[in-house]
Amino acid sequence: MEQFLPYIIQAISGLVGGNIAGLLAKAKSLGPILNSILGAVGGIGAAQGAQAAGILEAIGLGSMGGTGADIGLGAIGGLVLPLLGSLFKKK
C-alpha cells in the first residue's frame, strides 16, 4: 500500500488544483466533475513526469523530494490541465 501513497497524494492535490482552475476560469469552466478528473490526471502526470525527467534536480530542488514534491507538482499539474482543456470549450 505504501507504494501507492505518492499517487494518491498527487491525485488529491491535482483534484484540488483542478477545482481551483475551475474557479479561476468561471466563464469557461468544464464543470466540477470534469475539472476534478482532469485535475487528478494532470496531478499524477505532472508529478511523475517531472520526477522521471529529473526536473527537481535540474533546478536545485533534488532534496525536496517526497511528499512536498508530490503535493506541489500535483497541484500545479492539476491546475494546468483543466485550464488547457477550457481553451477548447465553446461558448
Mean pLDDT of the region 9-20: 94
- φ, ψ for residue 30, nearest 5 deg: -90, 0
Evaluate whether 15 touches 39 at the Cβ level (below 8 Å): yes
Residue type, 9: I
Q: What is the pLDDT of residues 29-62, one digit of tens each?
A: 889 999 999 999 999 999 889 888 877 777 766 6
Residues above pLDDT 70, as percent of the chain: 91
